[in-house]
Amino acid sequence: MLKHNFHKSHSASCTTVFPVPIAKPFLSGGGNAAAALSLPISHKNTTTIPTKKSKRISRGGVIIRRQYSGSSTGVKAVLIAGSEKSTTTVKAVVTVLQTVGGALTHLGLNRGLDDIADVLGKTLLVELVAAELDPKSGLEKASIKSYARKTGKDDNETYYEASFEIPEDFGEVGAVLIENEHHKEMFLKNIVFNGFSTTTTNDSLEVTCNTWIHPKFDNPEKRVFFTNKSYLPSQTPTALERYREKELEILRGDGQGERKTADRIYDYDVYNDLGDPDSDVDLARPVLGGPDHPYPRRCRTGRPRTEKDPLSESRSSSVYVPRDEAFSEVKQMTFSAKTVYSVLHALVPSVQTSIIDTDLGFPHFTAIDTLFNEGYELPDSSTVVSLRNIIPRLVKAVSDTGNSALRFETPEFIDRDKFAWFRDTEFGRQTLAGVNPCCIKLVTEWPLKSNLDPEVYGPAESAITTELVEQEIGGFTTVDEALKQKKLFILDYHDVFLPYVNKVRQLKGTTLYGSRTLFYLTPADTLRPLAIELTRPPIDGKPQWKQVFKPTWDATGVWLWRLAKSHVLAHDSGYHQLVSHWLRTHCCTEPYIIATNRQLSAMHPIYRLLHPHLRYTMEINALAREALINANGIIESSFSPGKYSMELSSVAYDKLWQFNLEGLPADLISRGMAVEDPTAPHGLKLTIEDYPYANDGLLLWDAIKQWVADYVAYYYQEPSLVESDTELQAWWTEIRTVGHGDKKDEPWWPELKTPDDLIGILTTIIWVASGHHAAVNFGQFDFGAYFPNRPTIARTQMPTEEPKDEERKQFMERPDEFLLKCFPSQVQATVVMAIIDVLSNHSPDEEYIGEQIQPYWADDRVINAAFERFNGRLMEIEGIIDARNADTNLKNRAGAGVVPYELLKPYSEAGVTGKGVPNSISI
């Protein structure tokens, strides 16, 4: 809110003469009130010469003359200015960012017309709107308009200035309307006003915009920007109520037609655009969202349906996202257009053409090392040469030939210890401190059993028996004691994968099992793998097959264990990418973004709290639908479930996802990794004390929760305000019943009645978008680039499952070649390595959690102080994590060759660093 007391001057009034309609809508601030706002304002005295039949009435310094015409048609009322009213001069500087898009598109005739508009001072029409209605008339006060003239340029910013003469009775400025007179959109950064007399010595006031402004020639609707003061719906200044609701109506749209690039409309749709049946029937994919395949909703694009499948939406070269969800200019230059897009659309095809046999694996382990030492020589083309400048980290010039090579940086994991991936201790450590640390569970029931139908999938009871386990832990304890002492843990990918085993096995170049991996917690707080069970359901009249593999000392057993471990790691990689990463962060967050923009006004304090945590996610999700999770995209072609990958993520959403378990403490408790304990730090006692993801995550969770609690307490000082907040209630209802509508009837949804309810909901959303996403994303290159550590696919079956003579012979004679054949092909490995290199990268303009205060809060002492405490706590967390990583007693994060656990350190420099928690899911 631009709150001010005007410097008084004795200049003439700047109000003009305008008619006052008697219609009811105008008197209530709606309807024809817009007509009054759109009239031009003169900066001179204006008078009306009375006619013979007139009556003069004075109301609040404004003279109303009732003029009676000679006819019998009635009364015409006119407002005119008083003759001596004080005004103040206020100047505004509008900052517009020069964009690459603007530079490239401002060519030709339109560029010339826009230059003329700049010369004439007709670039931007700025209109000030009073916050309150006139207290005496109940009408909206006339807005004050001025054209902003171009006055200068500095680097990538262009400045426009406007001047306003504001009457003393105008009151507070509540909003600014902007009309773009150019023929191309402009990116408006902010508007800074000078000349207001405030309670401080600083008379400079700012309206934050950070948005694209469409040209009036495309859409005559002016853009409204509210001032930086936040209001609950019930506290909205009277003259801004209709603007508040009108802006939300625009953002909601009408649900019709195909969305255009410049649109700002947020609406819902199912995931019906992943397949491409018109180009190939084998690329048809089921619709995700609805009773058959429950799923969160995505942003509606309105593209036409495919010819061969009326339920599916046709694909296009670019996927619509609301205009303000697009990446910033820096991200466009350094991340989106220049890296992800280049990798997907230029580098990947180059790799695929340079390796003739797409099924060819690596002939020996040293060949894998060449990816980091020498690289692949890429085809000699102008596209490939240009990649050197776009992604120099990946594509490098070959000095002796002048060609280009795809060469990867050596990941820190391998740089520290080249053989760590081979060891079982590292296998166990990464379940607690790797890139997928949120799937390990405590074993609470014995024996292990499946919940699947035994008539379809075979016997439910696991082949991991008490006797087998006690052979492994006999020197320590019994199974019963281990269960009581909470020493047995499991990675359980049995029930989620087993229904897809037979389907996946019909695909070329991949295979699948259901799997269980059992661990024992040692006295050193490390996890020791005990057994791996691989299961195939009945197939082709043959019964269920299952086998347990365990660490052993004989040569055959050692290689069978390594093969079984590679299958489990492929399962873990697939589940990580499809569920822990894509589903739980990217996919489930999109409905929060849509609902926030549709139901919470830009002046709502909760909108302003959430906005930094929801930026850019829709853009990266659209890019994923375009080339990562689509039919025959990177995920389908490189991960074990193949074409069933996204369908499998729908099953996980249906069976496993609950909003009330997405917060870190609830997640840990639900997996048996913690119990509530009011005497313990964070109110939780961890089952495994040295659990880096949980230990660091709880520090971050508590910091977020305290910041949210301080913020909510400030704006909802009366508990009843939460339940009476109409926008907030509509927001939460829409998330539950539309955005996650396939789960709308679940009993576990939190209520939203009290400030504590709100704090819990907001903390969960912010945690998922920041901490959870950082933990499962930014370590992908370090842990996955050397793919034997985390293969994304297992291409061959175990040699003990009905082996052919040739396969048995190869395994017995050259087991290392058999393992290499099971690993991803050269194309698959190289493509995935390029993708996770980009996905692990921090943009130079990364916005880290708690780093920069939002401009809306900067002038509010209470919120400013709360944010400073939040920022200070995050800086303190940085030091705590560093100290933990230096403590050699913590075996899961410190030791010879061990990569320190830094994924939840709040801050990072740009690049692939393995640390840093951005505000939002921006990659």
pLDDT in tens, 57-85: 333 333 333 333 333 333 333 333 344 56
Tokens of 144: 């004050």
Q: Which of 183, 571, 740, 773 is catalytic?
A: 773
Q: Which of 777, 841, 892, 919 is catalytic?
A: 777
pLDDT at 2 over 50: no
Contact 566, 484 (CB under 8 A): no
pLDDT at 185 over 70: yes
| Annotation says 772 is catalytic | no
pTM score of the predicted model? 0.88
pLDDT at 863 over 80: yes
- Provide the pairing of β-strand 404-406 with 395-397: antiparallel
The per-residue pLDDT for 74 is 35
E strand or H helix at 16, and its extent? none
Q: Is 556 helix (H, G, I), strand (E, B) or coil?
A: helix
Q: In this prediction, what percent of the chain has a pLDDT beyond 90?
A: 71
Q: Please tell me the distance from the alpha carbon of residue 43 to that of residue 621, in angstroms, as a whole number.
A: 50
113-140: average pLDDT: 80
Residue 43 has phi, psi (to 5 degrees) of: -100, 40
The per-residue pLDDT for 391 is 79
User: Which pairs count as long-range contacts for 701-704, CB under 8 Å and 24+ apart, including other chains?
Assistant: 701/663, 701/664, 701/665, 701/763, 701/767, 701/771, 703/850, 703/870, 703/873, 703/874, 703/877, 704/763, 704/766, 704/767, 704/770, 704/771, 704/849
676-688: average pLDDT: 95
Q: Quickly state the pLDDT bin for 253 (edges 50, 70, 90).
A: very high
The per-residue pLDDT for 381 is 74
The per-residue pLDDT for 335 is 46
Give residues with Cβ within 8 angstroms of 923, minimum separation 6: 335, 340, 620, 777, 838, 839, 841, 843
The per-residue pLDDT for 317 is 81
Residues β-bridged to residue 783: none
Residue 34: C-alpha distances to residues 27, 31, 164, 270 (Å): 12, 7, 20, 37
Contact 850, 906 (CB under 8 A): yes
The per-residue pLDDT for 399 is 65
293-310: average pLDDT: 96
Residue 137: C-alpha distances to residues 21, 27, 464 (Å): 12, 8, 82
The per-residue pLDDT for 199 is 41
Q: Which of 214, 494, 567, 581 is catalytic?
A: 581
By mean pLDDT, which of 96-100, 302-306, 800-804 is the weakest? 96-100
Domains and CATH numbers, the chain: 87-227 (2.60.60.20), 439-577 (3.10.450.60)
Q: Please tell me the distance from the alpha carbon of residue 609 to that of residue 202, in angstroms, as a whole number.
A: 26
Residues β-bridged to residue 77: 66
| Annotation says 923 is catalytic | yes
Q: Please tell me the distance from the alpha carbon of residue 726 to that of residue 281, in angstroms, as a whole number.
A: 47
Closest by Cα among 903, 898, 846 to 580: 903
pLDDT at 884 over 60: yes
Tokens of 295: 């799923």
Residue 653 has phi, psi (to 5 degrees) of: -60, -45
Contact 518, 464 (CB under 8 A): yes
Contact 728, 722 (CB under 8 A): yes
Q: Please tell me the distance from the alpha carbon of residue 392 to that of residue 406, in angstroms, as a whole number.
A: 10
Tokens of 904: 């939840």
By mean pLDDT, which of 35-44, 152-161, 817-826 is the weakest? 35-44
pLDDT at 122 over 80: no
**3-state SS record for 836-860:** HHHHCEECCCCCECCCCCCCCCCCC
Q: Quickly state the pLDDT bin for 7 (edges 50, 70, 90).
A: very low
Cis peptide before 747 (omega within 30 of 0): no
Q: Is 269 helix (H, G, I), strand (E, B) or coil?
A: strand
384-389: average pLDDT: 76
| Annotation says 777 is catalytic | yes
Best-predicted range by mean pLDDT among 347-351, 855-859, 873-877?
A: 873-877
Q: Which of 586, 611, 682, 842 is catalytic?
A: 586
Q: Which of 191, 440, 735, 923 is catalytic?
A: 923
Q: Quickly state the pLDDT bin for 289 (edges 50, 70, 90).
A: very high
pLDDT at 279 over 60: yes
Mean pLDDT, the chain, integer: 86
| Annotation says 490 is catalytic | no
Q: Please tell me the distance from the alpha carbon of residue 337 to that of residue 432, in angstroms, as a whole number.
A: 35
pLDDT in tens, 778-832: 999 999 999 999 999 999 999 999 888 888 899 999 999 999 999 999 999 999 9
Q: Is 322 helix (H, G, I), strand (E, B) or coil?
A: coil
